[in-house]
Amino acid sequence: MSGEFHDGVVKALSNEALRGHLRRAMDSLIEKRLAVFPDSDELESLRHRCMGIRANALSKLPDLLVHLEARCEEQGIRVHWAETTAEANSIVLEILRSHRVERLVKGKSMVSEEMGLNHALEAEGIECLESDLGEFIIQLAGETPSHIVMPALHKSKQEIAELFHEKFPDIPYSDDVDELTAVARGILREKFMQADAGLSGVNFLVAETGTLCLVENEGNGRMSTTVPPLHIAVTGIEKVVERLTDVPPLLSLLTRSATGQPITTYFNMINGPRQPGEKDGPQEVHLVLLDNGRSRIFADEELQATLRCIRCGACINHCPVYTRLGGHAYGTVYPGPIGSILEPQKEGLERLGELAEASTLCGACGEVCPVRIPIPKLLNRLRWEGVRHDGSGETAGQGKRRKQSQALAWKGWSTLASHPALYRTAVKSASRFRRLLPQQLGPWTHVRKAPEIAEKPLRELAEEEGFSHE
Partner 1 sequence: MRLLQREGLRVIFPRNQTCCGQPAYNGGYRDEARRVAAAQLDLFPQSYPIVVPSGSCAGMMKHHYPDLFAGTPWQVQANDVADRVWELTGFLTEVLDLQLKDLGEPVRVAMHTSCSARREMGVANAAEALLGQLQGVELVEQDHKSECCGFGGTFAVKQPEISAAMVGDKTESLRRTGAELVTSQDCGCLMNIGGAFEKQGDGPKTCHIAELLWERTRER
Partner 2 sequence: MSDARSHILQRLRAVGRAEESELARPVASHPWSREEKLQRFTECMSAVRADVHLTNEREWCNDLQQILMTKGARNLVYAPATPHGQILQSGLSSGDIELIPYDQEIEQWKSRLFDETDASITSCHGAIAETGSLILWPDETEPRLLSLVPPVHCVLLQADQIYSTFAEAVENQGWAEDIPTNALLISGPSKSADIAQVLAYGVHGPKSLVVLVLR
Site residues for ligand SF4, window 357-376 (CB under 6 A)?
Answer: 368-371, 373
Confirm or reject binding of residue 17 to partner 1 (CB under 8 A).
no
Nearer CB in complex with partner 1: 2/158: 2
* 3-state SS class at 154: coil
Measured CA to CA in angstroms, residue 421 lies from 70, 359, 415 at distances of 67, 34, 11
Nearest-approach distance from CB 148 to ligand SF4, in angstroms: 7
Residue 399 interacts with, from partner 2, partner 1, ligand SF4, none (CB under 5-8 Å by kind): none
For partner 1, the closer CB: 279 or 403: 403
Of 22-30, 236-244, 312-320, 430-438, the window that binds ligand SF4 (rule: CB under 6 A) is 312-320
Is 62 exposed, middle or buried (CB count within 10 Å of its CB: 0-12, 13-18, 19+)? exposed
Site string for ligand SF4, 314-333 (x = CB under 6 A): xx------------------
Q: Which long-range contacts (CB under 8 A, 24 or more apart) does 460-468 make?
A: 460/428
What residues contact residue 145 under an 8 Å CB cut-off, 6+ apart?
110, 113, 134, 135, 138, 151, 152, 327, 333
In this complex, which beta carbon is closest to partner 1, that of residue 49 or of residue 324?
324
The reply to whether 133 sits near ligand SF4 by the rule CB under 6 A is no
Q: Does 338 bind ligand SF4 (CB under 6 A)?
A: yes
Min separation Cβ 49 and ligand SF4, Å: 14
Q: Sheet with 197-200: list strands edge to edge.
A: 77-82, 284-290, 230-236, 197-200, 103-106, 127-130
- 58 contact, one of ligand SF4, partner 1, partner 2, none, CB 5-8 Å limit per kind: partner 2
* Residue 283 main-chain phi, psi, to 5 deg: -75, -25
Rounded to the nearest whole angstrom, what is the least distance from the CB of residue 190 to partner 1 in the complex? 44
Least distance to partner 2, CB of residue 124, Å: 19
Measured in residues, the chain has a length of 470
Binds ligand SF4 by CB under 6 A, chosen from 91, 233, 309, 349: 309
Nearest residue (CB) to partner 2, 81 versus 423: 81
Q: At 231, phi and psi to the nearest 5?
A: -125, 125
Distance from the first to the final alpha carbon of the chain? 51
Cα distance between residue 120 and residue 106, in whole Å: 14
Instruction: Let me know: does 138 contact 230? Beta carbons within 8 Å.
Output: no
360 binding partner (options partner 1, ligand SF4, partner 2, none; Cβ < 5 to 8 Å by kind): partner 1
Q: How far apart are CA 26 and CA 23, in angstroms?
A: 5
Binding segment for ligand SF4 (CB under 6 A), chosen from 41-49, 211-219, 294-302, 311-319, is 311-319
371 binds, among partner 2, ligand SF4, partner 1, none (CB under 5 to 8 A by kind): ligand SF4
Give min distance, CB of 113 to partner 1, in A: 24
Q: Which residue among 417, 432, 437, 440 contacts partner 1 (CB under 8 A)? A: 417
User: What DSSP designation does 326 have?
Assistant: -
Pairing of strands 284-290, 230-236: parallel
Select 361 or 387, whichever has its Cβ closest to ligand SF4: 361
Q: Report the partner that residue 373 touches, choosing among partner 2, ligand SF4, partner 1, none (CB closer than 5 to 8 A by kind).
A: ligand SF4
Distance CA 357, CA 2 (A): 11
Specify the residue, 152 or 312, whose C-beta has the smaller distance to ligand SF4: 312
Kindly identify the residues of this chain, within the stretch 422-461, that bind partner 1 according to CB under 8 A: 423, 442-451, 459
Q: Is the dihedral of CA 37, 38, 42, 48 positive or negative?
A: positive
Farthest CA pair distance, the chain? 92
Task: Verify binding: residue 403, partner 1, rule CB under 8 A.
Answer: no
User: Is 50 buried (19+), middle (13-18) or exposed (0-12) by CB count in 10 A?
Assistant: buried
CB 188 within 8 A of CB 219: no
Tell me if 182 contacts partner 1 by CB under 8 A: no
Distance in Å, CB of 385 to partner 2, minimum: 17
Residue 54 binds ligand SF4 (CB under 6 A): no
Residue 414 contacts partner 1 per CB under 8 A: yes
Task: Give the DSSP H/E element, type plus range, for residue 137.
Answer: helix 133-141
Q: Within positions 344 to 383, which residues make up the interface with partner 1, using CB under 8 A?
A: 357-364, 366-367, 377, 380, 383
Q: Are 422 and 429 in contact (CB under 8 A)?
A: no
CA angle 91, 96, 99 (to 5 degrees): 130
| Shortest Å, Cβ 231 to partner 1 | 42
Which residues bind to partner 1, rule: CB under 8 A? 6, 9-10, 13, 19, 320-321, 324-325, 357-364, 366-367, 377, 380, 383-388, 401, 406-407, 410-411, 413-414, 416-420, 423, 442-451, 459, 462-463, 465, 467-470
Which residues bind to ligand SF4, rule: CB under 6 A? 309-315, 338, 368-371, 373
